[in-house]
Amino acid sequence: MIKIIPVLLLLLGLALTVNFAPGQDPGLATILSVAKSDLRLETVRLLDLDLLMEVQGRVYIVAAPADLQKIRSAGIPFRLETDLLPPSAGNFPRLQGNLNGDFHDYYDVEADFNAMETAHPNQAKVFVLGDSLEGRHIYAMKVSANVQLDVDEPQVLFLGCHHAREWISVEVPFLFAKYLLDHYGSDPDITRLVNSSEIWIVPLVNPDGLEYSIHTYRYWRKNRRDNEDGSWGVDINRNYGYAWGFDDIGSSPTPDSDVYRGRAPFSEPEIQAVRDLISSKNFQALITYHSYAQDILYPWGYTTTHTPDDARFRTLAAGMAQRIQAVNGRVYTYGAAADTLYVTNGDLTDWAYGTRGILGFTIEVPPIDVQNGGFFNAEADIQPIFLENLPAMTYLIGQCIASFVPAAGRVNGQDRRQAPPARPNIRVKG
């Protein structure tokens, strides 16, 4: 009886909230949670349930009506959690086999990078840029012809996963590395790019956060800094050292905020690693991937004032957006970050441009909004999202190759250090 009464109450709740709610599609998937102690793995496999995440001893499941029936028949007590997630059944991920399915976790990135280096010793080299707070490596892969040599050629950087819950942002740069290596020697355009540039890929800037998002709390955003006030995490994309803490709108001084900027610029080891890579190289451009929104953003983020290079940024962003749209028809909006999304300070692209003149872009990949899935990309969307971004990546590298000036001809062209201007009018969007 102890178990039956809550189940009956829940079934009553189910009938009221799912089956009879006006305007709701009865075929819609439901999110429910089950105490981990009530759910043996054999049961999950037997019932072919779709696990979403585990939070504080409860396992969350994406349940189609047929799955609900199976869970009821098995007598497993459950709790409805559909309010946690946007009501768009088609966009829920299917995560068979383990909690993150086809998405990479830290160990997958490590294993795959090592395997790719072994398989392509002349075009791929793996570097450890530094370690996270919990001691995981921040990995980079350099892709270039004769990769062991340092040649004076254009350098472009692609990064993913500053924000833990943005799982798809690992996949886009990771799959780009794989695509370059798989097509080198057979695809003449890819071969030409790899022969004439240095392409660096850092798919997982925040490994501690990603692991926490996979195993503990799916919506986790920050790193895993113990703020020593009971709160955890710094938003590492508000911790870069240009216009850091410019105002309390584009970042927060409050440790439990999701956009907490940290105690000092570059206080976080994950982005110290990124800083040190960028400082040791001569990148012309970079793209840092995030989700979600379908946006291509460029500096400034901290102010609505435009950069002296606004026309160049706009041309490149338009070129990328046009190529992306040509693949699956999805429209990515582009513009200066503070105009397009909302003001941010201490982000990577402002720092990279502000201190080194790097043409830095933030690309927020699909979906376009929370009604279409928010941070929850379906596994089936990984390839389409990568493939639509692929021509934008190759276009940007091509533009860097076309405009490259060899070291002998460069005149202090890479240093744009300047004090941030006086505080302008700030407006916030989004």
- For the record, the structure tokens of 281 come out as 């190289």
Residues contacting 107, CB < 8 A, separation 6+: none
Q: Is 110 a catalytic residue?
A: no
Question: How far apart, in Å, are the Cα atoms of 350 and each of 123, 259, 286, 315?
Answer: 31, 16, 12, 18
Does 120 help bind Zn ion (rule: CB under 5 A)? no
Residues contacting 56, CB < 8 A, separation 6+: 216
Residue 254: burial class (beta carbons within 10 Å; 0-12, 13-18, 19+): middle
Residues 285-324: x where in contact with Zn ion by CB under 5 A, - otherwise, as a string:
-----x----------------------------------
Instruction: Give which of 166, 179, 183, 128 is closest to 362, Cα–Cα.
Output: 166
- Please identify, using beta-carbon distances, which residue of 117 and 295 lies nearer to Zn ion: 295
- Please identify, using beta-carbon distances, which residue of 166 and 268 lies nearer to Zn ion: 166
- Please identify, using beta-carbon distances, which residue of 154 and 250 lies nearer to Zn ion: 250
Residues 170-199: x where in contact with Zn ion by CB under 5 A, - otherwise, as a string:
------------------------------
Region near Zn ion per CB under 5 A, out of 47-55, 74-82, 164-172, 395-403: 164-172
- The dihedral formed by the CA atoms of 64, 69, 73 and 74, expressed in degrees to the nearest 10: 10
Catalytic residue among 110, 198, 364, 388: 364
Least separation in angstroms between CB 362 and Zn ion: 8
Q: How many binding residues for Zn ion (CB under 5 A)?
A: 3
Residues 137-156 that bind Zn ion (CB under 5 A): none
H-helix or E-strand spanning residue 361: strand 359-365
H-helix or E-strand spanning residue 271: helix 269-280
Question: How far apart, in Å, are the Cα atoms of 127 and each of 72, 140, 157, 397, 428?
Answer: 50, 5, 14, 21, 38
- Please identify, using beta-carbon distances, which residue of 166 and 270 lies nearer to Zn ion: 166
Least separation in angstroms between CB 288 and Zn ion: 9
Least separation in angstroms between CB 237 and Zn ion: 6
User: How far does Cα 279 stand from its chain's mean position?
Assistant: 23
- Please identify, using beta-carbon distances, which residue of 34 and 363 lies nearer to Zn ion: 363
Contact between 138 and 207 under an 8 Å Cβ cutoff? The reply is: yes
Least separation in angstroms between CB 203 and Zn ion: 14
Does 238 help bind Zn ion (rule: CB under 5 A)? no
Does 163 help bind Zn ion (rule: CB under 5 A)? yes
Q: Which residues bind Zn ion (CB under 5 A)?
A: 163, 166, 290
The set of catalytic residues is 364
